[in-house]
Structure 1
């Protein structure tokens, strides 16, 4: 059992999470912004532009001199990159021969001059390696330090549909000072869903993004349960702390909301997924009936300290948002 299953990692660079492609040296055939689009790449055989075939990705012109092409991305959420996914979907005769990825930790910096001023500050995340066309080229990393920006380098030219930087969010510098309430379950604050019983329709991390849900797709939904038991999701909080209030939202889930839910907590810094599954959890919210398409708020809890929360839904269904407000001065990890 891995503690970092790829489909429960957060795409730190996604435009859905605020990522932005700051610059690219060339985007003749297809714009750089496509690299981090949240939606999966599509193929339209009939669509062309004034410059050639329309492609759902970033594509540079054919290089006629030595060199390489590049794009610099500011992550929407600073974090530790666990897996890099260079997706060449639909690029069959026009994908790069090889690619590399670099990273840097410069929170708050958007100035390109500052980013490229000293190349030695960039560290190699993925050494140059061959790519295959029309394929999700997946590379697992063994890293413990966060990054805020990455640079994708392709050799010598070509097209990449998506760049996914899958990893663990880290709390923004200075956020968890223990003096004010923050949403300890928000991925932008450093939280992440690390385990769940079912993610047939979507990841539980969808519950932890900012704002109200845009639709049923923008939340966590499990398959219909045909046997005994219930579904659940474990959230590693942004930091060890107390939880004063919880918000659970079933917006857009009208015929498929859970019948009831409860929330448990545990104080287990650094615990593995296996240990958490076997551990004894403490009740924070007892089993409560659920109203479909409704925002539920529970205050005055004063529970903790907790490092993880477990949301149990009975027996199955969908949850749009999960919030856990409280105070912490102990981030789950300290930024480098």
Structure 2
């Protein structure tokens, strides 16, 4: 059934909404507990797609709603739920979306957070998605192990706007630099919320794990991020470094067809397409390191994959990155070091390729992925080893050092 029309002027969202949603079901976020799921289950909060509205659809408990909606409370207290983040990391902001909840939205909200190491999390029984029900005494007892009443407060009790088209997004910036693994969403006293977005950056404990095992240094799960791109007409390049494998073309990076492509295409003597332009995306690694293997997956891109690609790396300070963002990444060529030469790509296929420069001196902080002439790619993995010191080429002075926790392996 078609969505109802959305009218009105919508304010420009804050910059933090360009970050990854740490709580999305797509990256493994899940509801551990909810006090009540009478009209609609809390799992709807974590849906990846935008909220929808089905005007004439009802369930046996009432109006079908794409969100979490509790019954009208007739007992003391207020409703709340606990979310385990799919990606643990630093939270930069929240979006509490009340879309389509106009006469039954939650009037107030607060948000708390906690950080639990994976091996120290209390065992919480798996929840069943249901409607028309409230939490059982057994569920209340199990969730009490988390002591969520005492968690840190990131958003104090604040009034929410109803779910009208121009005012349904309630944005809350967060200044905390801590790493979080769980959040508690409180609504006062009851009502409905469509979706909850927890925007931030992943953060990994680099002292843990097998030092001999290569890691994907660009994945959003560890803190990698896209910091510049030429075109994102059909999909943002942040999708390239997403968690897991792509689920469709919509889950990748796809550009528009370049208008400067020649009327008749030709190859050079090496079989590479002769075209004047290309598209690119620049990524900040989750940790400086040496890239030893590159994976490029064109899954689902069967008639629209790029003809070829290349990968380059460089070392940039925070200030240099900020300068490059302002200059739209017009970086002098000598700054970039080749990690992967121009390489032909096949449609709908995983390409596993060795990096050109796996020596210690080739530590990088940023990578540039260039596709020719245009098209779509579902995933990019830059696997290698994190390093605690960045070095330039021989005979040059070390540019900068990166501090890490005690015990981190400084050499590869």
TM-score by length of 1: 0.90
1:134-213 equivalent positions in 2, closer than 5 A = 134=163, 135-172=168-205, 174-175=207-208, 178-213=211-246
> Is the Cα contact below 8 Å between 1:194 and 1:273 reproduced in 2?
no
After TM superposition, the structure 1 = structure 2 runs for residues 1-336 of structure 1, keeping only pairs within 5 Å, are 5-108=15-118, 109-111=121-123, 112-116=143-147, 119-120=149-150, 122-134=151-163, 135-172=168-205, 174-175=207-208, 178-227=211-260, 229-271=277-319, 272-275=321-324, 277-279=329-331, 280-303=335-358, 304-330=362-388
Distance 2:209 2:368 in 1: 21
SS at structure 2 position matched to 1:23: strand
SS at 1:188 equivalent = coil
By how many angstroms is 1:8 displaced?
Answer: 3.2
Q: How far off is 1:187 after superposition?
A: 2.1
Q: Could you tell me how far 1:46 is from its partner in structure 2?
A: 1.8
SS across alignment from 2:302: coil
CA distance in 2, matches of 1:261, 1:65: 61
Q: How many aligned positions are there?
A: 330
Q: Is the Cα–Cα contact under 8 Å of residues 216 and 381 in structure 2 kept in the other structure?
A: yes
What is the CA RMSD across the aligned residues, in angstroms? 2.4
Q: Classify the secondary structure of the residue corresponding to 1:217.
A: helix
Partners in 1 of 2:73 and 2:388 — Cα distance?
50
What is the DSSP-based 3-state SS (H/G/I as helix, E as strand, rest coil) of the residue aligned with 1:56?
Answer: coil
Deviations 1:116-163 (A, max 9, x none): 16x44x222122221112212122222322210011111121111110
Q: Give the Å deviation of 1:226.
A: 2.2
Change (3 A) 1:287 1:211: same
Distance 2:324 2:186 in 1: 40
Q: Which runs of 5+ in 1 are unaligned?
A: none
Choose 1 or 2 for highest CA Rg: 2
CA drift of 1:178 comes to: 4.0
Q: Which structure carries more relative contact order (alpha carbon 8 Å, separation 6+)?
A: 1
Mapped partners of 2:403, 2:230: distance in 1: 25
Unaligned runs of 5+ in 2: 1-13, 124-142, 261-275, 390-401, 406-412
Partner SS for 1:34: helix
Q: Which structure features the higher share of strand residues?
A: 1
Q: Normalising by the residue count of structure 2, what TM-score does the alignment of the two structures yield?
A: 0.74
Offset from partner CA, 1:59-95 (integer Å, 9 cap, x none): 0111234532111100000011112011111111110
